[in-house]
């Protein structure tokens, strides 16, 4: 992973990261897991194929949860119980949900959130009302017919929970 380019300053409470391979994306997920605790909401945004599930796979490895972390596109949500003392991982793919928080309420995320780490792919505009504190991860990649593995990422902490967090450790 590379440090952010000097011409692209991150906004306060955020860090920009360049990832050049799927393995680096998984490693970023493992590092991010060290910052997370039960009650945390992570929102992932990015184009199809940007690496949202790959990042979540690394999160699952870092959290030490059971089961292979795969895209929950067709089941909408998967719960991965903790193998140790850490929190379970709830992995949600909201791509096919169009009803905002009303549809999300059917998943009972508000019940799961206090004791779990909840990761929502495509959650923008759908899950912000679950909590005032969240981590927003935006992944940009080249679109079209390309084999370019480079991803430009912005990780932003929102709310009191993330106000004093040192997100720069993610770019190490």
61-120 pLDDT tens trace: 999 999 888 876 666 778 888 999 899 999 988 776 665 555 555 555 655 668 899 999
Where is pLDDT greater, at 36 or 13? 36
Taking the C-alpha atoms of residue 172 and residue 96, their distance in angstroms, rounded to an integer, is 34
Confidence of residue 9 (pLDDT cuts 50, 70, 90): very low
Helices of type H across the chain: 22-33, 52-63, 101-105, 109-112, 160-163
User: What angle, 0 to 180 degrees and rounded to 10, lies between the N-to-C axes of helices 22-33 and 52-63?
Assistant: 40
31-76 pLDDT tens trace: 999 999 999 999 999 988 899 999 999 999 999 999 888 876 666 7
139-165 pLDDT tens trace: 998 776 667 789 999 999 999 999 999
Facing residues of 80 across strands?
89
Question: For residue 132, how many other CB atoms are within 10 A of its CB?
Answer: 11
């Amino acid at each position: 992973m590379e440090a952010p380019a000097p011409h692209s300053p991150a906004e306060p409470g955020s860090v920009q990261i360049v990832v050049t391979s799927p393995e680096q994306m998984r490693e970023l997920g493992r590092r991010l897991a060290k910052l997370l605790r039960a009650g945390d909401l992570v929102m992932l945004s990015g184009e199809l194929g940007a690496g949202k599930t790959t990042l979540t796979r690394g999160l699952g490895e870092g959290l030490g949860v059971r089961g292979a972390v795969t895209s929950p596109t067709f089941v909408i949500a998967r719960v991965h119980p903790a193998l140790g003392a850490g929190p379970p991982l709830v992995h949600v793919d909201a791509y096919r949900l169009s009803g905002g928080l009303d549809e999300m309420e059917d998943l009972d995320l508000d019940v799961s959130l206090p004791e779990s780490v909840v990761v929502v792919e495509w959650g923008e505009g759908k899950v912000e009302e679950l909590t005032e504190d969240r981590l927003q991860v935006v992944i940009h990649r080249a679109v079209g017919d390309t084999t370019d593995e480079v991803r430009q990422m912005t990780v932003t902490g929102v709310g009191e929970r993330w106000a004093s967090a040192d997100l720069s450790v993610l770019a190490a």
